[in-house]
Amino acid sequence: MSTVNFEISGMHCASCAMTNERSLKKLPGVQYASVNYARHIASVEYDETQIGIDAIREAVIKNGYGIVKKMTAEERRFAEKMHRRVLATRAVVSLLLSAPVLFLGMIWMAPLPWEIAGINLNPLIQAVLGGIVILWMGSGIHRGMFARLKTGGANMDTLVSIGVLSAFFYSLWEMFFGRGHYYFETGALIVALILTGRYLEARSRGQAGEAVEKLMQLGEVNARLIKDGVETEIPAAALNPDDIVFVKPGERIPADAEVISGESAADESMLTGESMPVTKKPGDQVFAATVNLNGALTLKTLKSGGDTVLSQIARMVEAAQSKKAPAEKLADKISGIFVPIVLAIALLTFTGWYLYTGDPTAGIIPAVTVLVIACPCALGLAVPTAVLVGTGVGAQRGIIIKNGEAFQKSYNIDTAVFDKTGTLTMGKPTVTDILAADGITEGRILSVAAGLEKYSEHPLASAVSAHANLTGALPESITGFKSDAGKGVSGFLNDGTSVSLGNPGLCEILLQQTIFCNQNRSTGAGQRPHGTSNCATGGIKEVIAEVLPQNKADAVKELQQRGKRVAFIGDGINDAPALAQADIGIAVGTGTDIAIESGSVVIMKGSPKKWRKS
């Protein structure tokens, strides 16, 4: 079995997604198919011995939709920016032209101050301005209707197009031959609202995709390829398995690889969430986009490009964002039959009035009314207004709510899952205690340690130096400083005494991650591989320890399968899949950009106390 994900263009409503999903599910060899309207992403699991990718994509094209070609991140950003600009222009022009049409429609019986040959210009101006909005600005809606008609289907474009065109052409007929009952403003306003909604949707989709893009940008580095003794700088994506690369201190590792020479420490917090560096020596594995801290390494590439752990995280985020909640699946099913039902009701309305009165024009207004009120114009106004007010109140409290879906899903959250490092804790080590031998003061120990660590770039060195500054301890003068990767640092005092830090010796400095706050009541979930947690978890009694990004997302998914409504609170790159998988992802504002992009809610001041308020 294989899985393919691709982006579909031309979808304008949930029924479009359902049309494509049904077509894909009917294909031989397709075991699973899901089309997410919010992301415009199709995910298909298929048997490659029965059907190929081209046939899968052709099924979508036959429905009148397009397949978005693979683009670089920069090309995609430019294309989406241009698309949003076109939508914004159409929406603004439609709203500006609809306003005078609405005004003139309200005073249609009142003649304007000027006339031409005794003809009132009011309906003529309405027809011209309304025609520009309905026929020109709304041309994409009508094209969508005709594209679906070619395949024998219907979608929301069908409903909107028939409604506004019926209102427009009926108003034209009334203007020339009838009694002067016009509906130009109705059609124009509906088109303006639909176009405004599509612009807002496009902007939301762009924001949702930024998390994956920023993840992949971490891996867009150059690698020093060593071949036949010659060093060549190439893009990391061009590496192949078994290539030999050289990585200097402070550089990002270009691929998943094995250390073949050199010793160093690597910052793998983006994968594990833990700020403590991991010692690397020959035979150890390193991962793409993690940081080589303090020693040069020669590596043999194991995986590169789309096969790295970083790429797997990106795919997990994308898959989680493309998932459908049960409520979304129900809404899709309803939308699939909504349009045909409305069209049938409108036809029955017209037929009933015609049979009752014998006048075909008598049934036009009621039928058009059915089509018009079935258009989502009320929701188009009410929902954005509610979201606008809610996001404004949240912003005043330091809580950024990024989309309306967060409001819908937050009311029945019953389980909260917290990342530890950087969320419940500060995310960096701090000195908590100094245990000194008899005859040596803590201040003396701290001064010597600060003198040694001021030459080191290790995260623990920063913790020691920060504590010395906080307590006013002056660093001792050190000569002959030496740093051994993975072992510690050493040097000599002015009197020639040899001192070292990192190995067991004269004293022990305890470094831990400091908790943000003591939470008396918190909820958590998961198995307890290492027993019940203590005060370091702030009262949380169930803990999953030492987990990778996939395990976090799986833990959230397991809770959801048990019927739980889950909020996940996190801050790191490794939290991105879980943030996207959860019903509500709450990112702490002090976290990484990728985590913030993956979450639906951002707590700006970085305190987990606010998660309940959010």
Cα 314 to Cα 215: distance, rounded to the nearest angstrom: 6
Distance CA 264, CA 36 (A): 44
In the annotation, is 438 catalytic? no
Residue pair 34/21 in contact by the 8 Å Cβ criterion: yes
Task: Select from 372, 343, 340 the least CA-distant residue to 164.
Answer: 372
β-strand partners of 235: 222
Q: Rounded to whole angstroms, how far apart are CA atoms 548 and 419?
A: 12
Q: How far apart are CA 460 and CA 465, in angstroms?
A: 9
Alpha helices (runs of H) in 26-72, residue ranges in sequence order: 53-62
- Token output for 29: 């060899």
Check 243, 256, 332, 419 and give the catalytic one. Answer: 419
Nearest to 196, CA basis, from 300, 87, 278: 87
Q: Are 542 and 525 in contact (CB under 8 A)?
A: yes
Torsion of CA 595, 601, 603, 604, to 10 degrees: 80
Query: Exposure string (b/e) for 547-556, b if CB count within 10 Å is 16 or more?
Result: bbbeebbbbb
93 φ/ψ angles, rounded to the nearest 5 degrees: -60, -40
Cβ–Cβ < 8 Å for 237, 305: yes
Residues labelled as active-site residues: 419
